[in-house]
Each structure stands twice: as C-alpha cells, then as structure tokens.
C-alpha cells in the first residue's frame, strides 16, 4: 500500500538539519483548554526521534476553521504548552506562520531544539495550496516530514505544496496508519469482516465497492441500513433514507451475492416517535417500521447476530455508528459492537470518527489493534483512493 513504498524519517540524515514537520494538532477544545490530547501524543514518536538525532524541528499544523484570518481563538499556543509538558523540554512558539517571528526563531534553533509555528490556516493561501505560500513555508526548512494522517486526504500547502520545494518523507504516525490499514486490506487474516454504519449510503459507496473485493462479510447498520431495507421493499416509517440511492443499494446487494459475500442488515430496530433522546421508543422486528416511527438504533437480535459474526472474525474494519450514538438511549448498538470487537481477538481497525469515540469512551481503546487518527482520510484510504499528502512523498 501507499506509504510502504515511501521514504520515512529513518531514510534521511536529520542531524543539524531544519526539518518542517506537518502534524495534526487539530484537537478538540473548550474555552481555550484542550479536551483530548490524543493527536498531540500520537505525534511524539516522530518529534522525539528527530530532536534526538539533533535535527532543528519546526512543527506546523492547523486548528479549527479560522477562515484565513489571524484569529487567536484558534492559536496553537496551548498546543505548544502541552507539547512542552509532554516532551519535558521547551517548545518555542512563533507568533506567525511565515513572518519575521517564525523566520528569526527558526534561524535561532540549535540542534535538538523544537519550535511550533502558528496555525497555518491563518493564511487563506494554505487551503488553496498557493505555490507562493508553499514556497515561503518551505523556506523555513531543508527537509519536509508529513506526519498528519488526518489531513493526508487534503491537498493543501502544508500537506502537499511544500513537497515541491523540499525532499518529503513520512513520519512514524503516517507510516503506522498506512502499514496497519494497508496490511489489513492487502493480506487480511480471515474471515475478514467490515462493519459500516453512519447516516448515508452515498458517503460509503466507494468504501463498500472497494471492500466487496476483499471482505468475507459486510455488516451494515446505522441510518444507511434503511436505504437498503427500503430498496428490498421493506417498510421503514419515518427513518432516514436516501431515496435516490435505492438502485445503488440494490446493485451493492447483487454484487455481494455474485461474489458470495454475506451482506447482513439489521433484523430488528429500536425505533422512536421523535428524533430526541427522551422520545417514546419500542422495538420493531423485521422490515416493518410503522409510519410515524423512525429507526434510531439496531435492536438486541441484530446485536447478537453481528456479535456472533465479529467473534469468529480474523480481521475487522469498522467505520460508522450503528445508531444515533450521541443520544444515550440509542447508543446501545454502537457500544455492543465496540464491545464485540474488543473481545474478538481479531486484528481490529477502527476508522476514526464516532466509532473511535465509542471505543475510547467505553475503555476498549487498548483492546483493539488500531484506532485511526483520521476519519476522512481513513475512509478515502479504505476506498482505495490515493491520498495527496502521501502521494507527494519520495518513493523508496
């Protein structure tokens, strides 16, 4: 797969070199405080390796959506403070991105020093992958390292543009993400089970199509299941459904049948009379949800069915919740699937987003093989697409 044939930080000589490292420090924040530092922690192996080898490390990232303006609500200053704590050594914070402060602080770095420049999205040119901005960013360093898997599917200045001006290699996190997911897709331990949930079939068509050439069983939950159920003539009441994708759902089922792949849909549903946590709810069996009611979660029979399949799996890939996970009363299906994966002993890959949140919230994070740091990037990778932030790196 992609990064397996790409050069990494172990293929360069970092000693005494200024190295620009793109990290994913887009951490969740509340009132200026970091809620979860997982993404910062994931960047540490690359930073420690480079600094330990005597490189002058210049970190960069985006945070939030500042819309191309210097908005200090989105400053990376708090990230620099947290990095200083985690690394046990000072991380110098620049006041700008490509301005005088960043340049002078980069020039003052000694071997092993670490600095962080300000939020790259303070410049609108970043997301436009503007060549002049990319060139200015690249001028801070001599080598570029991409270690931000979460943004590897974006062709921005700090993810791809700088590679036009600097030798570009992968950091440990990107290499880990692609090695584990790539290995699971190319040489899975069987049976290979994929679990897909979430709201829309349209978001997952590419993923399903790619996985149909690889998996033994496909489990479909979440609101996207109702598009499949309706396409088979089932009654789904007021459940979310993409009517324009009914033909696509039928085609997917026919392809699965032709390839001898089990495609399993929910056999019972927790339904409600309103889209809220406190709505009246009941369980419906089969494909007959009454009018005025909507599917909110998979039922216990489906949990049992899915769990049995997961228990026997050699490899499991999961992306997307089984129900309205943000409502506690309709989170059971997602939680039970997470539990089944954690207890399965299979090679288990969680593709970011709500699935990752469920696994972490339930305390199962240390019982799965890999939780991807990038929701959108993981999806595109599972779809078999080339990620721009990886394609631009030097080949081995």
Query: What pLDDT score does 4 carry?
Result: 58
**What is the pLDDT of the chain when averaged over all its residues?**
94
Active site residues: 39, 200, 353, 376
Query: What pLDDT score does 348 carry?
Result: 96
Q: What is the pTM of this model?
A: 0.85
Considering the chain, what percentage of its residues have pLDDT values greater than 90?
85
Average pLDDT of the residues in 279-285: 96
Average pLDDT of the residues in 245-268: 97
Average pLDDT of the residues in 171-178: 93
Q: Spell out where 173-267 has E strands.
A: 192-196, 217-220, 235-236, 262-264
The gap between the terminal CA atoms of the chain, to the nearest Å, is 13
State yes or no: pLDDT of 2 exceeds 50: no
Q: Taking the CA of residue 218 as centre, how many other CA atoms within 13 Å lie in the half-sphere pointing to its CB?
A: 25
Q: Phi-psi region for residue 280, left (φ > 0), alpha (ψ -120 to 50) or beta?
A: beta
Decide which of 356 and 145 is more confident: 145
Residues forming a β-bridge with 281: 272
Instruction: Tell which residue, 356, 361, 324, 300, has the closest CA to residue 199.
Output: 324
Instruction: Tell which residue, 150, 147, 151, 29, has the closest CA to residue 78.
Output: 29
Query: What pLDDT score does 246 carry?
Result: 96
> Tokens 């979860």 label which residue?
36
Candidate from 3-17, 71-85, 161-175, 290-304 with smallest mean pLDDT: 3-17
Alpha helix stretches (DSSP H) within 187-274: 205-211, 224-231, 246-258
What residues contact 135, with CB distance under 8 A and at least 6 apart?
164, 165
Contact 45, 8 (CB under 8 A): no
Q: Strand, coil or helix: what is 371?
A: strand
State yes or no: pLDDT of 61 exceeds 90: yes
Average pLDDT of the residues in 237-262: 96
Which of the 8 DSSP states describes residue 385? Answer: P
The length of the chain, given as a count of residues: 396
Query: What pLDDT score does 272 carry?
Result: 98
Query: What pLDDT score does 383 carry?
Result: 85
Structural domains of the chain, ranges and CATH numbers in brackets: 2-173 (3.40.50.1260), 181-382 (3.40.50.1260)
pLDDT digits (tens, 9 = 90+) for 189-230: 999 999 999 888 888 888 999 999 999 999 999 999 999 999
What is the Cα 46 distance to its own chain's centre? Answer: 19
């Amino acid at each position: 797969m992609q990064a397996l044939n790409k050069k990494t930080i172990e293929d360069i000589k970092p000693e005494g070199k200024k190295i620009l490292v793109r990290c994913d420090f887009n951490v969740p924040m509340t009132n200026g405080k970091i809620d979860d530092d997982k993404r910062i922690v994931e960047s540490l192996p690359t930073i420690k390796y480079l600094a330990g080898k005597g490189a002058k490390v210049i970190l960069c990232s985006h945070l939030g959506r500042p819309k191309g303006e210097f908005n200090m609500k989105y400053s990376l200053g708090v990230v620099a403070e947290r990095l200083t704590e985690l690394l046990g050594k000072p991380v110098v914070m620049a006041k700008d991105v490509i301005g005088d402060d960043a340049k002078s602080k980069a020039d003052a770095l000694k071997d092993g020093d670490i600095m962080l420049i300000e939020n790259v999205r303070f410049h609108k040119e970043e997301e436009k992958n503007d060549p002049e901005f990319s060139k200015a960013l690249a001028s801070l360093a001599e080598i570029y390292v991409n270690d931000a898997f979460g943004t590897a599917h974006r062709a921005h200045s700090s993810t791809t543009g700088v590679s036009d001006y600097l030798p570009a290699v992968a950091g440990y996190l990107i290499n880990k993400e692609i090695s584990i997911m790539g290995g699971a897709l190319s040489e899975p331990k069987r049976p290979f089970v994929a679990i897909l949930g979430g709201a829309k079939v349209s978001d997952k068509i590419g993923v399903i199509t790619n996985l149909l050439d690889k998996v033994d069983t496909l489990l479909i939950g979440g609101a996207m299941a109702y598009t499949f159920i309706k396409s088979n003539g089932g009654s789904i009441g007021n459940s979310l459904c993409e009517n324009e994708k009914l033909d696509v759902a039928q085609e997917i089922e026919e392809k699965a049948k032709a390839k001898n792949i089990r495609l399993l849909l929910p056999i019972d549903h927790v339904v409600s009379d309103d889209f809220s946590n406190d709505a009246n709810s009941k369980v419906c069996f089969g494909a007959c949800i009454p009018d005025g009611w909507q599917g909110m979660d998979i039922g216990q029979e489906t949990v049992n069915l899915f769990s049995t399949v997961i228990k026997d799996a050699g490899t499991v890939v999961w992306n997307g919740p089984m129900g309205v996970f943000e409502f506690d009363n309709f989170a059971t299906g997602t939680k039970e699937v997470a539990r089944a994966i954690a207890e399965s002993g299979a090679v288990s890959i969680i593709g970011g987003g709500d699935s990752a949140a469920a696994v972490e919230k339930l305390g199962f994070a240390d019982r799965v093989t890999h939780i991807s740091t990038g929701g959108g990037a993981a999806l595109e990778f599972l779809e078999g697409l080339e990620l721009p932030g990886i394609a631009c790196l030097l080949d081995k």
